[in-house]
A and B are shown apart, each in its own frame.
Chain A
């Protein structure tokens, strides 16, 4: 069964460093998403991506964040200068169309120290 895969499963980084979280969406899906969950808080929407551009973003998704689809299979989230408060579980998701089921990866736990 096709699935969304995320790497790494856990990343530890020093404050101020750049991190790239990687995702491989399901191959015939056209819409890609990033969500995050800070420990003990809700899962929050960050950004959606379609046709090689951002289609929607939340207020959380500020200039320190960027997304990219560098090739035909990967979808990445870059955090330019990490802060302690960026520590969270980051989930990638993809869907075939805009309002069809979103399939989620298992998440990358980011710890900023």
Chain B
């Protein structure tokens, strides 16, 4: 079956530090990959996505590249801000077998001033 594994958290960084949150996946087909973010007190919001190998998703300074050879979709940001403090979820969706999302564990990011 499908699964997503994220790096263990929580992650604490200083403002302007470089961020990487690792995500690897297992899928039987050709999934689309997503990063969702959950700010305190809010729902999950789509941050970025990639639908095929070598695609790069980007939004708000965050990037992730769909790497089929390493089955990874690591999230990166060059310079984090305090406002980036949130929980980040990696997820996949098998486009040929329904619309369910399979999520990773979530990674809590705290950015200190």
Contact = CB atoms under 8 A, between A and B. Distances in A.
A106 B41 contact: yes
A75 interface: no
B98 A106 contact: no
A45 B44 contact: no
A106 B99 CA distance: 20
B44 A42 contact: no
A6 B43 CA distance: 10
A102 interface: yes
A58 B43 CA distance: 22
Contacts of A103: 43, 46
B99 A31 contact: yes
A105 B41 CA distance: 10
A104 B45 contact: yes
A104 B102 CA distance: 14
Interface residues of A, number: 28
A-side interface mostly: strand
Nearest to A47: B100
A70 to B, nearest CB: 22
Nearest to B4: A42
A101 interface: yes
A105 B43 contact: yes
A17 B28 CA distance: 39
Interface of B: 4, 32, 36, 41-46, 49, 89, 91, 93, 95, 98-106
Nearest 9 interchain pairs by C-beta: A104-B44, A43-B103, A104-B43, A45-B100, A106-B43, A56-B98, A98-B99, A105-B43, A42-B105
